[in-house]
Structure 1
């Protein structure tokens, strides 16, 4: 198992930025219509729904689609930077998975309200 202090500061910062990017992405998606394209909703009983009636979706605007794409691109870039960080070359293969789990736990996700 990796010592808590063994992670380089830049790797911890990258992981925290990745957590933040995921949290911001989820929060943004929560505010969007349920369908990317305009679709008619339904009432419970017409189709299966755990949540009851589903209202019509106006779909996403081009700006919203671009924002989601930009957020995903940032998440991908940060993920690649974390996974490709030179630190992982110094971690024994049999300890790699646990070390990555520990990094995620140590660089806790931040509250989106605090991230702004």
Structure 2
């Protein structure tokens, strides 16, 4: 992909990809706050089962609201991913350029706070 091609993404495609990045980040952050098991499950001590985390506490499971929120987030992620993949822009590229263009789109559309975090790492 040439440098002129790198800037040729339509604004709506760039916005869709940025929304997809943000939706994925919000989903990961939400899941990280939830109990480790969807359904209530007893925990275990380090010696009872293999666990690289040490003792695992009991999980109260997810509430119905949490399950619905996760389902809603997955639905949004799926719809955004479909919108990005099915965008008419991809049909304007030669088949052998699509993968590199897709990777460039992901890089260009990454939200600013993710850019700052990845540069510091």
| TM-score interval, normalised by the smaller of the two chains | over 0.9
What is aligned with 1:39? 41
How many correspondences in the alignment? 112
- Note the C-alpha offset of 1:109: 3.8
Cα distance in 2 for residues equivalent to 1:110 and 1:77: 23
In structure 1, the partner of 2:96 is: 94
Alpha-carbon distance in structure 1 between the residues aligned to 2:112 and 2:60: 31
CA RMSD of aligned residues (A): 1.3
Deviations 1:29-69 (A, max 9, x none): 01000000000000001001101000000000000000000
User: Could you say which residue in structure 2 is the equivalent of 1:6?
Assistant: 8
The answer to whether the 8 A contact 1:23-1:111 is kept is no
Give a deviation string over 1:2-30, Cα, whole Å, max 9, x none. Answer: 52211000000000000000000000001
Whole-angstrom CA distance in 1 between matches of 2:70 and 2:112? 20
1:43–1:53: 8 Å Cα contact kept in structure 2?
A: yes
The runs of 5 or more residues in structure 1 that have no matched partner are none
Higher RCO (Cα < 8 Å, 6 or more apart): 1
Return the TM-score normalized by structure 2. 0.89
Please give the TM-score of this superposition, normalised by the length of structure 1.
0.93
Match of 1:54 in 2: 56
Does residue 20 in structure 1 map to residue 22 in structure 2? yes
